[in-house]
Amino acid sequence: MPVVMLLPNLVTIAAICAGMTAIRFGFQGQYQAAVVLILVACVLDGLDGKLARLLKSESPIGAELDSLADCVNFGVAPALVVYAWALQGTKSAAWIAVLVFGISCVMRLARFNIDNKSEMAGRKGNRFVGVPAPAGAFLVLFPMFLSFLFDDPDLIPVGIIGFYMICIGLLMISRIPTYSFKRARVSRKSVKFLMLGFAFLAAALLTQPWATLAVLDLAYAASVCWAWLSRDKSTHT
């Protein structure tokens, strides 16, 4: 087997390493590094599947490995990093929030896998059911983005952080339709504007990362609200 055919699985393993190292950094008090590693894991998760399709090296073990990586990177790592950052010194009620989020993410991934294997998997659409696991991980880190932005670890009360984590977990297993940006299409005339916007986004992430990430979180939350309000006007998968 050519080594290049193993590249998608190697990317998946690298994502798992990033997620697990994020947990280590979180309990060592290196919270910003932990958040960055979770975001790196999100990026790698978006690459491995595309690489597998590009190289035509899709395999059952790759699909299972990708699913397990999602569980670690989007369910376990964000929950434990948030716990180490804000909830570690609290009573056991805060741990319940961690469990709710983690289990909700696992259930979301299980439902996604079943849908992919079902007869309806081939049906095209521009909606997901519930918040996808990567987006859930991104949303649950929002309190940390704000804390880093304003350089105030006590900016948000612990109780609100725990309640917020539970809400994000419930959104992942909800039936709320959310947009699937993977299936979004853009006209040729708009490509130059999209590329210019991406350049601005990259510059913003490099110069003001926490403010940019917080704004992206708010923008995605707004898209979820809009998808829910317009749910009767379109079908979803």
Domains in the chain: boundaries = 3-233
Q: In the predicted model, what is the mean pLDDT of residues 56-64?
A: 78
pLDDT digits (tens, 9 = 90+) for 111-162: 887 877 664 444 445 677 889 999 999 999 999 999 999 998 888 999 999 9
Instruction: Kindly write down the DSSP assignment for every residue of the chain, as one continuous string.
Output: --GGGGHHHHHHHHHHHHHHHHHHHHHTT-HHHHHHHHHHHHHHHHHHHHHHHHHT---HHHHHHHHHHHIIIIIIHHHHHHIIIIITTS-HHHHHHHHHHHHHHHHHHHHHHHHHHSGGGG---SEEES--HHHHHHHHTHHHHHHHHHT-TTSS-HHHHHHHHHHHHHHHTS--EEE-GGG----GGGHHHHHHHHHHHHHHHHHSHHHHHHHHHHHHHHHHHHHHHTGGGS---
Cα 81 from chain centroid (whole Å)? 14
152 φ, ψ to 5°?
-140, 100
Instruction: Quote the pLDDT of residue 62.
Output: 78
Q: In the predicted model, what is the mean pLDDT of residues 72-86?
A: 94
Which of the four pLDDT bands, split at 50, 70 and 90, describes residue 50?
confident
pLDDT digits (tens, 9 = 90+) for 200-209: 989 999 999 9
Closest CA to 201 of 187, 219, 224: 219
CATH number at 3-233: 1.20.120.1760
Q: In the predicted model, what is the mean pLDDT of residues 19-30?
A: 95
Highest mean pLDDT (candidates 13-27, 36-50, 180-194): 13-27
Q: Which residue has the higher pLDDT, 8 or 85?
A: 85
Instruction: Quote the pLDDT of residue 237.
Output: 39
Instruction: Quote the pLDDT of residue 19.
Output: 93
Q: In the predicted model, what is the mean pLDDT of residues 68-97?
A: 89
pTM across the whole model:
0.85
154 φ, ψ to 5°?
-105, 20
